[in-house]
Amino acid sequence: MRIGIIAHLKHPIAEPFAGGLEMHTHLLARSLRDRGHAVTLFASSRSEPGIGLEAICTETAIQTVGTTEASDVPFFREHHAYLSLMIDLRHRDFDIIHNNSLHYLPVAMADSLPMPMVTTLHTPPFCWLESGIRLCAARNHSFVAVSRSVAALWNHVTHSDAVIWNGIDLQKFAFHPRPDVDPYLVWYGRIVPEKGLHLAIEAARQVGLPLRIAGPILDDDYYQTQIAPSLGEDVTHVGHLAHQQLARLVGGAAAFLCTPMWDEPYGLVVAEALACGVPVAAFARGAVPEILDATCGVLATPDDVASLAKAALSALALGRRACRTRAEQMCDADRMVDNYEALYLRQIDRAAAPACNDRTASIHLMPSTLPSHASLDTRSASHG
């Protein structure tokens, strides 16, 4: 297939990844190319060239447009990049477009394209994206949610035709049958208020184990006021690590603390920790309860430090092999890509049969049309 992937533009699709969305997009593009598909990745100019990059957002490109009247220059740059791309795609020879961005323009303009589009919902609703989705009138368009939780959150705006859980490269997160000799807890991710690192620090001190922190500082004020003063011998920030170093750090931990202060859409960090064999103690928010079960994780009351510390102590007793097994069952990238390939082919077939009526289209969306590990969201309205 000739596949165009529209990426998020705020951060490059390259290591070290700024977050889970960038890692997911990189993995999807690389995996599809490895399977022989012709993939073009529309992303920012500092993204990795080797995964079919066609840069659509650069400093030089915007200079010819002008930004003097723009009150928010980064917003305007992003707007112009996506607008230019969607106009250009009208004349491109793709079989399908996969919209992996968080921007309103690709989905709002989907009906202007000659080829079908798939849009993955990676976040809970927010005003700009919700506005674009409400205006989406494209017949050959499909929405995918990354969890049942996300599907339920979007249900008042649009129905998710499928739930396809995000996957990770299990080989890159190798199984560690034992933690390091000197035990420690780990927290990693974007260092921003909504990720709740300050609560993980408090909980680790209640548990009585050192905490090692990895991740980019994306909110300097939060870091300087709430994180830096708490650092010491027992709580260390080791920086923003490349993949190999990060996998080693996570794999050596006795347990992973997951502290979202919002409805986490999926939680790739949870999948990565499980793949390494590391039990998880997590706030019960968003999609995290979908990934964890009693064999690999312990859920805590959201925002409750004492509950998280208690969960961490319980998680220390869980078997590491069971954690790896759960990752293999739920979080394998090969399964994710299988499901997206099946969805692409289904959308292409529908686009090639314009005479199909609504009844035929609904048959295509029945759960049996995807492998069993891809759950079509026919129950999102009732799922909490």
As given in the structure block, the two tokens for residue 223 are 């870091």
Q: Is residue 174 part of a domain?
A: no
Q: Mean pLDDT across the chain, nearest whole number?
A: 89
Q: For residues 261 and 346, state if they share a domain.
A: no
Length of the chain: 384
Do 45 and 190 belong to one domain? Answer: no
Domain with 35, as residue range(s), is 2-167+334-352
CATH (domain of 189): 3.40.50.2000
Contacts of 53 (CB under 8 A, 6+ apart): 13, 41, 43, 47
In a domain? residue 177: no
Q: Extract the tokens encoding 86.
A: 């969607």
Regarding whether 325 and 221 lie in a shared domain, the answer is yes
pTM: 0.82
What is the domain count for the chain? Answer: 2
Please list, in sequence order, all residues whose beta carbon lies within 8 angstroms of the beta carbon of residue 365, skipping any fewer than 6 positions away: 161, 162, 376
- Calculate the CA dihedral of residues 47, 53, 57, 61 and round it to 10 degrees: 120
Q: For residues 256 and 323, state if they share a domain.
A: yes
* pLDDT at 378 (0 to 100): 32
In a domain, 381, yes or no: no
Give the span between the Cα atoms of 302 and 283, in whole angstroms.
Answer: 5
Same-domain pairing of 79 and 214: no
299-326, pLDDT tens digit by residue? 999 999 999 999 999 999 999 999 999 9
Q: For residues 211 and 284, state if they share a domain.
A: yes
The answer on 269 and 308 residing in a single domain is yes
Provide mean pLDDT across the span 260-281: 95
- Specify whether 158 is located in the same domain as 207: no
Same domain, 100 and 145: yes
Phi, psi of 364 (to 5 degrees): -60, -20
Q: Are residues 342 and 323 in the same domain?
A: no
Say yes or no: 341 and 322 in one domain. Answer: no
Instruction: Say yes or no to pLDDT of 355 above 60.
Output: no
